[in-house]
Amino acid sequence: MAHADAITFTRLADGTLLQRQPDGTFRPVATDSDRGQLAALTEEAIKHMSSSDLDHPGLDDAFWDDAETGSPDREAVSIQRDSDVLRYFRNAGRGHQARINAVLRRPMLAVRKGR
């Protein structure tokens, strides 16, 4: 079995990003973001900034009225897949996890139908 790459980054519970140093220790990564300034933004300031962002339209109440939030019976799990299988699904573009789910669902439904 091939060995996994060593972890080079990890994140603390408070969101601090740590990077592994050559001596094996982890140290905080310097960033240009000011978390205090971001936390101090008001809802109005955030709405104003998002409305002027050409790459991301504002998400008003009308958007959320029509949005589908997903099935309530979904469960997040971690499974290992062969890298070539995962690459196949990822190469088809966004939604690879939904496609994998659809492939797994077919035999399940076939068994249920046969009962």
Q: How far is CA 8 from the centre of its chain?
A: 19
What band does 89 get if pLDDT is binned at 50, 70 and 90? confident
Highest mean pLDDT among 33-37, 56-60, 63-67, 76-80: 76-80
75/53: higher pLDDT:
75
Closest by CA position to 27, among listed 12, 5, 37: 12
Does residue 31 have a pLDDT over 60?
yes
* Predicted pLDDT at 113: 81
Q: Give me the amino acid identity at 29.
A: V
32/106: higher pLDDT:
106
Q: Which residue is associated with the tokens 């960033």?
A: 31
Mean pLDDT of the chain: 80
Q: What are residue 17's DSSP bridge partners? A: 11
Q: Tell me the pLDDT tens digit for each residue of 9-26.
A: 888 888 888 999 989 899
Domain spans, the chain: 79-115
Q: What is the mean pLDDT of residues 78-106?
A: 87
The per-residue b/e assignment along 26-39, b for 16 or more CB within 10 angstroms, e otherwise, is beeeeeeeeeeeee
What band does 64 get if pLDDT is binned at 50, 70 and 90? low
- DSSP one-letter code for 26: E
Are residues 79 and 97 in contact, defined by beta-carbon separation less than 8 angstroms? no
